[in-house]
Amino acid sequence: MKEEITPKFEKLRKEKALYLDFQKTEAEIERIKKLVVAFEHTTNQVPPFFIFFCFFFAFFLAWTKFSLVVFVLLGQVEQLRV
């Protein structure tokens, strides 16, 4: 009886492992599909003005940091003259 059950049991174990791997793969595919849909939705919904505003704001921040560094350096130069 053990000789009949063991091969069937091993076959079922292998099939179960394959099925679990299949389920993991299917779940990963669904997750990636959702990410693609979300990415497509967000890239199509961003107005061009917002993109321009973001670039302008980033440039403004970079310029003000640069200006502050220059002013600080000039202030230190003025202090050294006195």
Coil vs helix vs strand at 81: helix
The structural domains of the chain, with segments of one domain joined by +, span 1-45, 47-82
pLDDT in tens, 22-62: 888 888 988 888 888 887 777 777 677 777 777 777 777 77
Q: In this structure, which amino acid lies at residue 66?
A: F
| pLDDT band, very low/low/confident/very high, at 72 (cuts 50, 70, 90) | low
CA angle in degrees (0–180, nearest 5) for 20-24-29: 145
More confident residue, 43 or 10: 10
DSSP letter string, 24-67: HHHHHHHHHHHHHHHHHHHHHHS-HHHHHHHHHHHHHHHHHHHH
| pLDDT band, very low/low/confident/very high, at 74 (cuts 50, 70, 90) | low
> What's residue 58's pLDDT?
76
| pLDDT higher than 50, residue 82 | no
| pLDDT higher than 70, residue 81 | no
